[in-house]
Structure 1
């Protein structure tokens, strides 16, 4: 049984969406629990993608292809996980801030987080503070991820954090920020909880902020 999961992780790393879907079905048909297929197959494969991406051994296109393969497996697994009562590691709201239309970095982070077992609510691009606040109220997440790719939109992160405080939701969530111009110094200045220089590091930082092993 371990063989099918090993193969599943390999096919995901290789970005073979069809193979991932077939092996996910096969693993379930062999009687493996949905949580096992998720953790020892899909998450394991995506974890390897994160390690290689961090080490610059693979690049954005390979990550996107692997993430697409992960999605193929998740579509089959999601209803099974819900049936068996498997909870996500944590819930995260993510979006690119108001005035900024960049989404590749944000999408990569969302994929990496999903690949690590987080439930992701993606608000898209050009997201105003009000939309983040409403999403927090509606979804009760543990984490907010904000991305800014321009120095001109970076200030929006500061505005948003102030708006979260004014709306009374800031203390309920950890705020993780990132994007090309964002630095640790800026993170400290605006009062965010954490900063990630790249998508692969975002998972580690998120787990660290939430105290997840």
Structure 2
């Protein structure tokens, strides 16, 4: 890797993390379309920047508007990168498994969920995103129709923890609980919350979510 390319990559991560959309998105576009940089590598740089954004949010330096802008920047870069990835693999690669994901009822946040959906998609999973404020019954209906290997419950607000617990309890009551693995994510989720809700695992970011799905489905990293 040339020094110039390395500098350019550091610049992209820095601009994305600093919310410099006007410079970051054109740079990523140029790297993808003009310089032929591997699209997966560009997305890895985006993921690195999103980790920085997440840390700044946790530390109170960033707030929801920054998370929204970060999601928009990722969407813009992804819209260019994803076709290049699919073009590179011929578009015929078998999907690794099916994931159903949604934000639980009472919560309207979707930035984290959208990033997880995006990362699962580019890593070869078939993902169905059923949106925000999803009722227990809608989850159950979608699970019966889609028959996923993994179900992801997202929630940013602390009230979402009760919604997650209620949803997972309903899966059990419906006799569905043993048919798939459940991961939760968003906000201040930790092992205590995982235990409270009854989920199989939690992820603090999209990279961990992809790792959980890979492990559960026996896919090599």
TM-score (norm 1): 0.70
Q: Secondary structure at the match of 2:103?
A: strand
In angstroms, what is the RMSD of aligned CA positions? 3.7
- Relative to structure 1, the CA distance from residue 51 to residue 139 in structure 2 (aligned partners, 3 Å threshold; closer, same or farther) is farther
Following superposition, the deviation at residue 43 of structure 1 comes to: 1.3
1:147 maps to which residue?
A: 155
Structure 1: 5+ residue stretches without partners: none
Distance 2:15 2:147 in 1: 33
- Relative to structure 1, the CA distance from residue 66 to residue 159 in structure 2 (aligned partners, 3 Å threshold; closer, same or farther) is closer
Q: Deviations over 1:141-193 (max 9, x none)?
A: 53411438575x7654344223323253544122316668x886564344223
TM-score (norm 2): 0.68
Q: Secondary structure at the match of 1:77?
A: helix
Aligned mate of 1:192, from 186, 192, 199: 199
Given that 1:158 and 1:190 are in contact with CA atoms closer than 8 Å, whether structure 2 keeps it comes out as yes
**Moved segments of 4+, more than 4 Å:** 86-92, 148-151, 153-156, 177-180, 182-187, 202-205, 207-213
Given that 2:150 and 2:181 are in contact with CA atoms closer than 8 Å, whether structure 1 keeps it comes out as yes
Structure 2: 5+ residue stretches without partners: 122-126
Given that 1:92 and 1:118 are in contact with CA atoms closer than 8 Å, whether structure 2 keeps it comes out as no
1:118 maps to which residue?
A: 120
Distance 1:148 1:63 in 2: 12
Given that 2:161 and 2:197 are in contact with CA atoms closer than 8 Å, whether structure 1 keeps it comes out as no
